[in-house]
Structure 1
């Protein structure tokens, strides 16, 4: 699951995967730091299957995402932070009684407003293709053009998945 923060240099954006940071960002950015119950769910089996099972195609990923999210019937709002889940869900948000909010859209808006080249740093190589497809679609729908340089940190995300956040943070900062 991902959130966005400004990173140095000023023309670079990273997508850190840290639940404690996510909670603070969610409360402040989306809910005005009000008394809101946030339930953070990680579905690592989806990512594993999407990257390792060739039979788990786009249609099956979409069906899986829809069925999994429909189980969240107690939620008033679903904030999707996983770019692969967002890409898999596609335009099927109308199937849900509660709003589905993809966290990448505020990031895409910020990217579309920037002038000149922008560096996007990914710590999870498996999210690059889906995120870039969504970014290109988002920009095209709004008549925007974006110029981005991709930096993929091949060996960082496993640190996060293994809970070694100190090593993960150090590797992200050194990029």
Structure 2
């Protein structure tokens, strides 16, 4: 193994996110180490006895465990994990890369009306709260409409990726007709967005493209 390779620890809430990160960084000299825990989001969403403090402690434990794996940085690909994370509680020196921050930076620099699409209703509140806080901290004003594509997220959770992408594509094509800047907020939506973007030659912002340039810059790849 090339000892010069940087190591990036990746924390995911679902196995499907691994493929996106592997593919996007395949041309760089970097070793990716993946950690996946779908159970946390399941408990946060469905278990009423599982408190915010329980969730924060679990994410803290996961991040500190990854930091002990001799990685150069930690990437968090789940926006809900990011919203739960209390950085000030961590006792690590490893840099943390949050998938949504480069995405926020990009859309905050757009002056036109925008539509942000989600498939997972559970991620909307945390993502928008962080986006609005980011915009406030950077003195940016936003004109954003939120569109949650109903009854689709279960498809990807069941491994029905083709059906999932098809449903997203239908809504994206309809949104294109309205002439707004469009973005998809979740990593699982990237393939459908890229397919529609290719067919229509109209840009669709996604968190993967904005993330890769940030990872490359931070790790000096």
TM-score range for the pair, normalised by the shorter chain length? 0.7 to 0.9
Matched, 1:96 2:95: no
Question: SS in structure 2 opposite 1:107?
Answer: helix
- Name the counterpart of 2:64: 70
Task: Name the larger-Rg structure.
Answer: 2
**Of the candidates 149, 155, 171, which is equivalent to residue 151 of structure 2?**
155
Q: Deviations over 1:64-100 (max 9, x none)?
A: 1001111111122110010010000033375322111
TM-score by length of structure 2 reads 0.65
- Name the counterpart of 1:134: 130
Matched, 1:86 2:106: no
Structure 1 Cα separation of the partners of residues 78 and 88 of structure 2: 16
Distance 1:163 1:43, change over 3 A: same
Matched, 1:57 2:51: yes
Q: Which runs of 5+ in 1 are unaligned?
A: 3-16
TM-score by length of structure 1 reads 0.81
The structure carrying a bigger strand percent of its residues is: 2
Distance 1:125 1:56, change over 3 A: same
8 Å Cα contact 1:84-1:130 kept in structure 2: yes
- Name the counterpart of 1:117: 113
Measure how far apart 1:58 and its partner are.
Answer: 2.3
Structure 2 Cα separation of the partners of residues 153 and 133 of structure 1: 19
What root-mean-square deviation, in Å, do the aligned CA atoms of Structure 1 and Structure 2 show?
1.9
- Name the counterpart of 2:33: 39
8 Å Cα contact 2:156-2:164 kept in structure 1: yes
- The total of aligned residue pairs comes to 156
Question: SS in structure 1 opposite 2:34?
Answer: coil
Q: Deviations over 1:112-155 (max 9, x none)?
A: 00112110000111100000010011111101111111111121
Distance 1:169 1:129, change over 3 A: same
